[in-house]
Amino acid sequence: MTEKMTIVRPFSPPIGRYKIPQNLINDLNNYVEEVLKDRNKTQQLDFGKNLVGEVTQELLISESFLNKGLLAFLGHSVENYIKLSSEKQIHNFSLISAWIVRQFKNEYNPIHWHSGHISGVGYLKVPKAFGENIKKDKENVNGSITFIHGSKMFLCGSKISYSPKVGDFYIFPNYMMHSVWPFNQDGERRCFSFNANIDDEIYNVYK
């Protein structure tokens, strides 16, 4: 009797995919719009010099806003991510920073990785369309985020791309390389990102 085949995933970092509650999406978008009305606050929260993105604007999310619900959402999401990925329970969630990324036509984020232990990105606004390829038979990754790890081998890919939709939220290890492709249509691609630390004894696999 032949046993049923199963597929295991022993050699790839997990990517957690969740949904952002609609009320939090609304609150974050309202926060951005209020900041943009205040030139001094916009300059005060400018975070672009700390990041690699070739984008219009990157704004630090203030501590006062974080404490209105976003911090709790991030902590709870990371706790679930670690539990599902490793069956371990974290007891420490320490946010390093969280920021808004405002990307427009022809802008992009080059391949990079983050600091801390855990990172993530959530989508708040996207254009009606990201535009067509010049060559129609090619995969269209306009406006997409691409995660990259390792090198392509037989039965093992090295990248995966997701076209963002409002409410999509991804969590991944800090070392996971990723990039954001440009798009060729009008409109804003708005997201938030974060870096955080968790328990050292869980993160430090070399102990």
Dump pLDDT digits (tens) for 133-160: 988 899 999 999 999 999 999 988 999 9
- Establish if 148 belongs to a structural domain: yes
Q: What are the pLDDT digits (tens) for 27-45?
A: 999 999 999 999 999 999 9
- Establish if 3 belongs to a structural domain: no
Q: What is the pLDDT of residue 178?
A: 97
Q: Give me the CATH number covering residue 135.
A: 2.60.120.620
User: Containing domain of residue 56, as a range?
Assistant: 16-200
Angle made by CA atoms 161, 164, 70, in degrees to the nearest 5: 120
- Establish if 155 belongs to a structural domain: yes
Q: What is the pLDDT of residue 186?
A: 97
Name the nearest CA neighbour of 33 among 8, 56, 59. Answer: 59
Low-confidence ranges of the chain (pLDDT < 70): 1-3
Q: What is the pLDDT of residue 1?
A: 53
- Establish if 207 belongs to a structural domain: no
Rounded-to-integer distance, Cα 24 and Cα 69, Å: 8
Domain tally, the chain: 1
Rounded-to-integer distance, Cα 143 and Cα 131, Å: 9
- Establish if 30 belongs to a structural domain: yes
Q: What is the pTM of this model?
A: 0.94
